[in-house]
Structure 1
Amino acid sequence: MSIYDSLVSASRFAASRWRAARAGDGEEAQLWRHVDEYRAFLGETGQVYLFEDYLKGVAPRQRPLVSTALETRQDAVASKRAMELLLKAFDETPEPEQKQAASTLIHLLNFIADTGQLDDFEDFVNNRLENAPLAIAHFTTRDEAQAWLKGLAKPPSPARILIGDEYYLAWSSREDNARDMYRDYIIEPYIGELVAGGIPSTAPSFETRGEAEAWLKEHPASPFGFVSIAGEYFFAVHHKRLKRHTLHPVASALTKWEEMKRAAEREEARDAVAKDEGDGE
């Protein structure tokens, strides 16, 4: 089973336990939702293959151990309770497949603790609404980004990066030793939704981008905001981890987003026609 299949199986296991818990203990249901955030964090930060390597170093045991790095953290209350829940589920389930799924989640929590990422994880979960979609690196040009991706011994699998003001998804595949990146239109829906509500008349106005960037450095968007530069509206996005803002021209972003939606609708229509033709044969 591939690492991606293992994570999908683990996610389904957590989801099934969450659905069962909703009918009873509300606290347990909340913990199961918390458990699935570990998988989300792993994927968003591009660490799937790093986790796979970590698993190779875990000695086989009848019952998984708990990371010392987690046990010694006095402030990691939620993660400790999640670990207790996972160990309980591991002990109680008789099915080997479900035991394996629970074991994967236990090791995932240990991985995050052992690599010193518990604080980053808590920030990811607790401040998701206050943070922009996560990007792990920024580059001025695509050539710089390509050189970075090609030079990594352990490339992301996958993760978002920024090239200039645009999101890209950098990915790699161990199976065929491939790696590349493509434009990711993740910020455009935010722009469309907020523009629909109206651009504030109080949006600050600047003559140059440099002036806007200097102002944003002292007044970070939280995480989004509108500014006007030389009479054109831009959508400012604060990337907390990278300590920078990107500026997205509103008019062209909305045009591109409408084009993407129309393309998706055409694709759905083609799929529906192909399905109908296939059913009719």
Structure 2
Amino acid sequence: MRIHETLARAARLASSQRQAAELAGREEEQRLWIQVKAYRDFLASTGQVYLFEDYLEGVAPTLRPQVSTAIEARPDSTSRQVMTLLLKTFDETSEKQYASVLIHLVNFIAATGQLEACEDYILHRLEYAPLAIAHFPTHAEAEAWLNGLAQPPSPADILIGDEYHLAWYSREDNARGLERDSVIEPYIEELVARGIPPTAPSFATRAEAEGWLNNHPATPFEFVSIAGEYYFAVHHKRLKRHTLHPVASSLAEWEEKKRATERAEVQDLAAKPQGNDA
């Protein structure tokens, strides 16, 4: 079974456990299951799915999964509480394979020294822009980076200029590529609907706007006006940079993409064979 399917089934186990906790009114357990999902989101957002697959292959088989010493050393941490819950679930569930995957997922993050980065990701997800793992000025530079990696992300967002792109890789056939990813446009749409502040900072040039943003980082978003046109400034804290997205053209492209998606769905529905009424 491929790692993506394994993770999907493990996620379904976590989701069913969270729903059961919610129905039973076990609020603390529900919170911890939400945390389990966040660990998986961190793994996926940072493009480490195949690295995790390699980690799983190197884990010695045991009757009951072991806890990473890095987690054992943090008895009062949320990760230790999560691990206690997962071990209890492993003991009680018939889906031990997928409970084990969730345990090893937390172990992987701890063993690779990423607990603090993961906890920062979880605690500040609403304060940070959608995660991008790298930035390149041009598409050619991004392609050279992707093609030069022995183990590309699988997948993860990167920035090319001011735009998000999804860098993807399929280990099974060694295929890899870049495609435009519309992850910031929904934010622009929602915040424009709330209203652009009339006090949005105004600048004559992009250089002036960038200089101001360096001293007044967006948290994580800010509308600015440059030469009479509104831009959506996005602060990428992890990459220590801002991107500037022209509001009017970004919304126009987003509307066209939504219409294209709707047309494709209608065509797919029309192409499906219809049952006989007789």
TM-score by length of 1: 0.95
Higher deviation after alignment, 213-222 or 265-274: 265-274
C-alpha distance in 1 between matches for 2:75 and 2:12: 30
Q: 1:74 Cα deviation (Å)?
A: 5.3
Partner in structure 1 of residue 275 of structure 2: 279
- Structure 2: segments with no counterpart, 5+ residues: none
Q: Tell me which stretches of 4 or more aligned residues in structure 1 moved more than 6 Å.
A: none
Aligned residues: 276
Partner in structure 1 of residue 205 of structure 2: 208
Partner in structure 2 of residue 194 of structure 1: 191
Q: 1:23 Cα deviation (Å)?
A: 2.3
CA-to-partner distance for each residue in 1:101-145, whole Å, 9 max, x for gaps? Answer: 010000000000011111111111111111110000000000000
Q: 2:181 aligns with which of 180, 184, 204?
A: 184
Q: 2:257 aligns with which of 256, 260, 270?
A: 260
C-alpha distance in 2 between matches for 1:271 and 1:279: 16
C-alpha distance in 2 between matches for 1:203 and 1:11: 42
CA-to-partner distance for each residue in 1:221-277, whole Å, 9 max, x for gaps? Answer: 1111101111111100000100100000111101101111111111122122223x4
1:78-93 pair list within 5 angstroms = 78-93=78-93
Question: In the alignment, does 2:61 pair up with 1:60?
Answer: yes
Partner in structure 2 of residue 10 of structure 1: 10
C-alpha distance in 2 between matches for 1:269 and 1:55: 41
Q: 1:166 Cα deviation (Å)?
A: 0.3
1:152-163 pair list within 5 angstroms = 152-163=149-160
C-alpha distance in 2 between matches for 1:143 and 1:280: 53
The alpha-carbon distance between structure 1 residues 222 and 280, as it changes in their structure 2 partners (threshold 3 A), is: farther
Amino acid at match of 2:249: S
The alpha-carbon distance between structure 1 residues 57 and 187, as it changes in their structure 2 partners (threshold 3 A), is: same
CA-to-partner distance for each residue in 1:128-187, whole Å, 9 max, x for gaps? Answer: 111110000000000000000011111000000000000000000010011101000111
Partner in structure 2 of residue 220 of structure 1: 217
SS in 2 for 1:129: coil
SS in 1 for 2:130: coil
Amino acid at match of 2:56: L
Amino acid at match of 1:172: Y
C-alpha distance in 2 between matches for 1:131 and 1:29: 24
C-alpha distance in 2 between matches for 1:50 and 1:57: 11
C-alpha distance in 1 between matches for 2:166 and 2:66: 35
The alpha-carbon distance between structure 1 residues 114 and 213, as it changes in their structure 2 partners (threshold 3 A), is: same
- Cα-Cα RMSD: 1.2
SS in 2 for 1:267: helix
SS in 1 for 2:274: helix
Partner in structure 1 of residue 170 of structure 2: 173
Q: 1:20 Cα deviation (Å)?
A: 1.1
Amino acid at match of 2:23: A
Identity, % of aligned pairs? 66
Q: 1:73 Cα deviation (Å)?
A: 2.8
C-alpha distance in 2 between matches for 1:218 and 1:280: 67
The alpha-carbon distance between structure 1 residues 280 and 209, as it changes in their structure 2 partners (threshold 3 A), is: farther
C-alpha distance in 2 between matches for 1:2 and 1:105: 16
C-alpha distance in 2 between matches for 1:244 and 1:124: 17
SS in 2 for 1:128: coil
Partner in structure 2 of residue 70 of structure 1: 71
TM-score by length of 2: 0.96
